[in-house]
């Protein structure tokens, strides 16, 4: 079973506008769509579409938390959340013809130390029945800076595999526990190493630095250029076919989900990377976040070009 963790879950509200937004005026929404939000929940949706058993966990609270669980139940996604006294946040995405997408993201309620301890106890029990665990996204106020590090250590102590997809101090602290895989993007690596990254050579260079920390798989998404997989002694670059993207939101989460599925199925690295890029590309063709058509994915899989990068082929200056 694959378990997905979303510590800072949300009710995602998409507001569809017929007219461009005008500041300071009353604007009427033509259509509204509510969904259970958070990076880990996008991962859970994609795992379910891949026909693998999945369990969503994390923290929820208040009426919004109850509503989020009801939305997941309607989708047929199994869940086992820790409950807090605070209210689960809402995140609003305004889509209008002039500006496109404008997002307003609440920070999330404050979680107490006792609530953190209670959730860690629940998480320990969930890990025992899991094979792969994914840890995704931001963290609500009040949780320890090393929360992901603690959770990775719990997973590894049970000899299970764990994927980390986060940023900032939570990525830095999480790396100390050596997760099986991490999926930083260019901006997250720039923050991690306090540097500017401008070329694919530099992407590989800094991904190798992460791999040298004891990380088995470092996957870096390159958008339309696919993704790089860096391992201790091997670098792979997978390029998808050229497409006209419909919605790129959630492509990173789709890549995490696909790699978790690949680990569950014990795919070799080349097949795992090809599958991950195919699923992420298929997600970009869907108007919904964390969704794809399997037939499209299979077609893209056969068109992905994968290349092993030899040492010295890309030289970092």
Residues annotated as catalytic are 253
* CB-CB contact of 230 with 211 (8 Å): yes
Helix (H) or strand (E) holding 15: strand 10-16
Percentages of the chain per state (helix, strand, coil), in multiples of 5: 40, 25, 40
**Cβ within 8 Å of residue 122, ≥6 positions away:** 57, 80, 82
From 162, 288, 278, 155, select the one nearest 215 (Cα to Cα).
162
**Cβ within 8 Å of residue 267, ≥6 positions away:** 275
* CB-CB contact of 96 with 124 (8 Å): no
The size of the chain, in residues, is: 317
- List of E strands, 97-200: 100-105, 132-136, 161-165, 181-182
DSSP SS3 for 63: helix
Please give the Cα distance from 83 to 77 (Å, whole number). Answer: 18
């Amino acid at each position: 079973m694959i378990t997905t963790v979303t510590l800072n879950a949300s009710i995602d509200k998409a507001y569809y506008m017929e007219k461009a937004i005008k500041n300071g005026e009353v604007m009427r929404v033509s259509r509204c769509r509510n969904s259970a939000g958070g990076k880990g929940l996008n991962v859970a949706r994609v795992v379910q579409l891949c026909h693998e058993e999945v369990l969503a966990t994390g923290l929820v609270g208040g009426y919004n938390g109850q509503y989020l669980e009801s939305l997941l139940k309607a989708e047929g996604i199994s869940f086992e959340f820790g409950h807090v006294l605070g209210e689960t946040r809402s995140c609003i995405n305004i889509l209008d013809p002039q500006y496109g997408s404008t997002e307003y993201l609440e920070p999330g309620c404050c979680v107490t130390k006792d609530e953190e301890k209670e959730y860690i106890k629940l998480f320990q029990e969930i890990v025992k029945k899991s094979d792969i665990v994914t840890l995704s996204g931001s963290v609500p106020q009040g949780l320890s800076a090393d929360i992901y590090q603690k959770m990775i250590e719990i997973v590894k102590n049970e000899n299970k595999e764990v994927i980390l997809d986060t940023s900032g101090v939570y990525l830095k602290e999480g790396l100390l526990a050596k997760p099986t895989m991490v999926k930083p993007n260019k901006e997250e690596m720039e923050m991690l190493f306090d540097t500017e990254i401008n070329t694919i050579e530099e992407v590989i260079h800094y991904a190798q630095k992460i791999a040298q920390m004891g990380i088995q798989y470092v996957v870096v998404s390159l958008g339309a250029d696919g993704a790089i997989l860096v391992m201790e002694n091997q670098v792979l670059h997978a390029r998808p076919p050229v497409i006209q993207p419909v919605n790129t939101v959630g492509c990173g989460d789709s890549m995490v989900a696909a790699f978790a599925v690949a680990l569950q199925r014990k795919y070799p690295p080349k097949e795992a990377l090809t599958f991950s890029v195919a699923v992420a590309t298929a997600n970009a063709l869907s108007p919904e976040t964390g969704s794809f058509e399997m037939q499209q994915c299979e077609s893209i899989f056969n068109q992905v070009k994968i290349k092993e990068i030899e040492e010295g082929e890309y030289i970092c200056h």
